[in-house]
Chain A
Amino acid sequence: MASPGVQALVEAKWQSAFKTLNREEPGISGLLKTSQARQLASDFLRPRALSEPRRKYRADVMANAFRLLYQTKQLHGVLENFLEEMRQQRHLITEDVEAYMHEYEVRPYAFVLVTEVHETADSQIIAQLVHRLVEWFNAWRPTTETDGHPGPLESLGHVAIDSYTDAFQTHIYSVLPPSFSSGFKDLIASTLPVSDPAPPPDRALWDAFHALGLIERYESLISSVCYELVEKHVVETCAGQWSERMLQDLRDWMQNKVLPWMCLPYAPGARTMEEAGASLHGVGPRFDFHVCKTLCDLRTSEIFDIIVDYPDSIDALYDLKECLYRVDQRSNLVQSLRKANKKRLLHPGADTKDILAQYVSTIRSLRIVDPPGVLLYKVADPIRRYLRDRADTIRCIVSSLVGDNENGESLIDDEPPLPYLTKDAEDYSDPHWEPEPIDAGPDFRANKPGDVISTLVSIYDTKDVFVKELQVLLAQRLLAVTDGNYEKERRNIEILKVRFGEQALQVCEVMLRDMTDSRRIDQHVQSQKPSILHPVIISRHFWPSLQSGSFVMPQKLRSIQEEYAREFTAFKPDKRLVWLSHMGSVKLELELQDRTIEAEVTPVAAAIIELFSEKDVWTAGELMAQMQRLDKEHLRKGLNVWVDLGVLKEEGADKYRLLEVAEESSKKEGTVSAPKPKELPAVQTTQQQQAEQMRVFWNYIEGMLTNLGSLPLDRIQNMLKFARGYDRSIEQLGMFMEAARREGLVVVRDGMWRLNK
């Protein structure tokens, strides 16, 4: 048994507890009252099914009961008790939720055909569920509020309500199945202001969400709905729309349509825009960011086509620039563009001209997006490397420099020429100095020559190749000019001089002067003795090598040449003329029995027809003998001109006959005007010139291989170095040998070359 001390202690406790419960009431009546009050309170709070009718309680009785419980410090116990009962009763809610969710999960199959309808119907079930849960929530809420006045329970502070809310929410979250999230998302999505004008917001529903704490719990879901809305809208309105600034429109749209909606979840209490603004402070920028990001992603995926459209898509580029300030996706842009370039541009199917055009557009576009040029630097590298491998790049660049491409616009027209000088050191006293962008590579130089032409020219390490190609092109163009108007060429050369330097273009200067001099001389000669011949007199050494080999002109043509040469020598006593008979064009008229034909043809063709005027039938061999030194190819071409015009007819075995009377098939109108010879003057391209030179070295190679059997490539290279004027690299030699192999001259095995016998 307990010691008397303990006994006394227990007794004292008991007394004090009894005293608390019984208060100062006589006997145990206080105790009875307390228990009665507790009974009443428990019964009042007891969670019951919604269908169960609620008993009416008199407010003053209730108030007294709670006050009593408060005084006897019983409230805590009552609350515990209530939560316990709630735990026992919550199966009611569970059943309800399950019923609704079951309906939701089964329903789609019934409505599968009409998607639109089923979505809204689905989300309506969820809305009903939410409303139902709010009903439960309100019904069980431990409140003694009467007509909006806080009762005794409320006076205890929020403890009771908070613990109740916690318990309730914990329960519903635990019973809501995973499919609820998607349903909820649909429901949120159905409230979006997609239609115009937007329907008034369903405030009751949003209040319900707030009451159940669904907003906090499913915040990420709500924002994802909103993100999806933004993404959908951006793609719908902006995809392929490059000719307008879209970003501002999007922001307006956010402001006018999405923002009011966003107030519902994020700023529930706000009455005015200012209040809402404060609540949205954290959320707004997030969505603005998302707008930028989506637009940026969209434009990044479209970047290749935007560049293709360049001058028209300039607004899209400005948008992209603004977005990139906000969203750091520069590396994405670079990667995407590089990928697109690789897939769509840098393949054998693309024309060098097109690649260059796209490159130029890329330069200009990216200069808009990123003025310092870091993006460009990163994107351009593969293009430049690819272009360097193409054989005709230089020619294409040069022809676009002088405006020789199809649309006739030349690059130099567009931009003021900058001096071909690059600043190597940074100017530290420049007040506008900016550091290099953070993503610039170590070998990036901000002070690179800025304009398009320098960028193109810098694909190659040396500008000599351009000058050489330019010379060839200029020769072709000058010789094609017949009306004596060289102003355009002169202007081009002047502009290019600024770029390449006076010295480099000296040769072109001489060519231009030859042209004007020829005109002057021609005027003089014509005044002395009129002639149908108007030659261009060129200074050899200053022109690219022209197709050489002269043939013997028929007497009539030759006498014209000689007469002119005589006059020339009389005018310039120290000089003589050497005719390049292959080149130029002759305009002549043929009078046949039944028709006259006017044609502008090559001198070779003119010589041939002149021969036919002596005799009607010639064989190719006879013609060759007559004209000497004329190669077969030119002869064939010249003959074909006349065959095409229906003047000559091939009669088998290289025999040609003049048709004095047109044949039925080719007989048309009396006068047939021939198309002008379209081909450009036969200036040898630099490639042909190289091939020509290589032919000389082939003799050496052949000799080597005959004497020594088989040799590796580097031996051949080393031996060729002894030859005078040999300046090829081993790669070039390799290419040449490869070409020789294709022609069947040599064979290679294990890197050893030998003659093919």
Chain B
Amino acid sequence: MKVTIKNWNAIAQWRWDIGKEFDETDDEDLCGICRVAYEGCCPRCKMPGDDCPVLWGECGHVYHMHCIMQWIEQQPPNKQNCPMDRKPWITAERKTANTATQQTQAVQS
């Protein structure tokens, strides 16, 4: 028997790639500032996703972009720290995610 798939309407959810493996039974990952899930949106936004993205810090903490920007603005210039660990906030380049994806791809192939 030969099975040929003609068309497949599937359903998927998107997640922010926050550098850790997706886990079926994961607890909600919440933004440390607004306590809303990353995949949700910050209190000022209405649309999740690209309209309300998240930012990764060098320190490994992740916040909604709007939340962390507001936080940074409120701080004096010399004290623009990550609210979690008080290290100076530096927005990370998206390396971790890509390498992670590449690694998983490598494993699969």
Contact = CB atoms under 8 A, between A and B. Distances in A.
Interface of A: 479, 482, 506, 509-510, 513, 517, 532-542, 546, 550, 556-557, 560-562, 565-566, 569, 572-581, 583-592, 598, 603, 606, 609-610, 612-613, 658, 660, 681
16 contacts: A532-B6, A532-B7, A536-B10, A539-B13, A539-B48, A540-B13, A546-B11, A557-B5, A566-B101, A574-B97, A575-B15, A576-B101, A578-B15, A579-B10, A584-B11, A589-B6
Contact of B13 (A538, A572, A658): A538
Best-surrounded residue of B14, B15, B101, B108 (most CB of chain A within 10 A): B14
B67 interface: no
B94 interface: yes
Best-surrounded residue of B12, B98, B101 (most CB of chain A within 10 A): B12
Contacts of B22: 576, 578
Given A566-B105, A569-B17, A591 B4 contact: yes
Contact of B47 (A510, A569, A590): A510
A539 B54 CA distance: 14
Nearest to A531: B8
Contacts of B14: 537-539, 572, 575-578
A580 B11 CA distance: 6
B2 interface: yes
Best-surrounded residue of A506, A510, A538, A561 (most CB of chain B within 10 A): A510
Contact of B3 (A540, A577, A610): A610
A584 B108 contact: no
B12 A588 contact: no
A583 B54 CA distance: 28
B15 A576 contact: yes
Interface residues on B, range: 35 or more
Contacts of B24: 550
Best-surrounded residue of B10, B39, B50 (most CB of chain A within 10 A): B10
6 tightest Cβ-Cβ pairs between the two chains A and B: A535-B10, A584-B10, A587-B7, A591-B2, A583-B11, A587-B6
B106 to A, nearest CB: 12
Contact of A541 (B40, B47, B108): B40
A647 to B, nearest CB: 8
B71 interface: no
Given A538-B12, A573-B97, A587 B49 contact: no
A591 B5 contact: no
A513 B47 contact: yes
A127 B98 CA distance: 114
B59 interface: no
Contacts of A584: 8-11
B108 A562 contact: yes
Contact of B39 (A539, A557, A569, A610): A539
A613 B11 contact: no
Given A510-B48, A573-B98, A578 B12 contact: yes
Contact of B11 (A479, A591, A609): A479
Contact of A532 (B5, B13, B101): B5
A532 B5 CA distance: 7
Given A572-B14, A580-B11, 20 more contacts: A479-B11, A510-B48, A532-B6, A533-B10, A534-B10, A535-B10, A536-B9, A539-B39, A546-B11, A574-B16, A575-B16, A576-B15, A576-B22, A577-B15, A578-B13, A580-B10, A587-B6, A587-B7, A588-B6, A591-B2
Interface in B1-38: 1-17, 22, 24, 37
Contacts of B44: none
Contacts of B2: 590-591, 613
B57 interface: no
B53 interface: yes
B5 A534 contact: no
B21 to A, nearest CB: 10
B46 interface: yes
Contacts of B17: 569, 573-576
A537 B13 contact: yes
B10 A561 contact: yes
A592 B1 contact: yes
Contact of A587 (B5, B15, B50, B108): B5
Contacts of B40: 541-542
Given A573-B98, A578-B14, A586 B7 contact: yes
Nearest to B38: A541
Contacts of A533: 8, 10
A590 B7 CA distance: 13
B97 to A, nearest CB: 7
Nearest to B54: A574
Given A569-B17, A573-B94, A586 B5 contact: yes
Contact of A583 (B7, B10, B37, B47): B10
A137 to B, nearest CB: 99
A550 B7 CA distance: 20
B3 A579 contact: no
Contacts of A581: 10
Contacts of B12: 535-538, 565, 577-580
B11 A588 contact: no
Contacts of B49: 517, 539, 575
Contact of A588 (B5, B48, B105, B108): B5
A539 B50 CA distance: 11
Contacts of B15: 540, 575-578
Contacts of A482: 9
A539 B1 CA distance: 38
B100 to A, nearest CB: 9
A400 B2 CA distance: 44
A613 B4 contact: no
Contacts of B47: 509-510, 513
B61 to A, nearest CB: 15
Interface in B46-85: 46-50, 53-54
A577 B46 contact: no
B45 to A, nearest CB: 10
B23 to A, nearest CB: 10
A188 B49 CA distance: 89
B5 A560 contact: yes
B13 A560 contact: no
B37 A541 contact: yes
Given A576-B15, A576-B101, A660 B1 contact: yes
Contacts of A569: 17, 101
B50 to A, nearest CB: 8
B57 to A, nearest CB: 14
A540 B39 contact: yes
A697 to B, nearest CB: 19
Contacts of A546: 11
B94 A536 contact: no
A69 B48 CA distance: 123
Nearest to A506: B46
B3 A609 contact: yes
B52 to A, nearest CB: 10
B26 to A, nearest CB: 10
Nearest to A579: B12
A580 B94 CA distance: 26
Contacts of B37: 541
A564 to B, nearest CB: 8
B19 to A, nearest CB: 11
A534 B8 contact: yes
A480 to B, nearest CB: 10
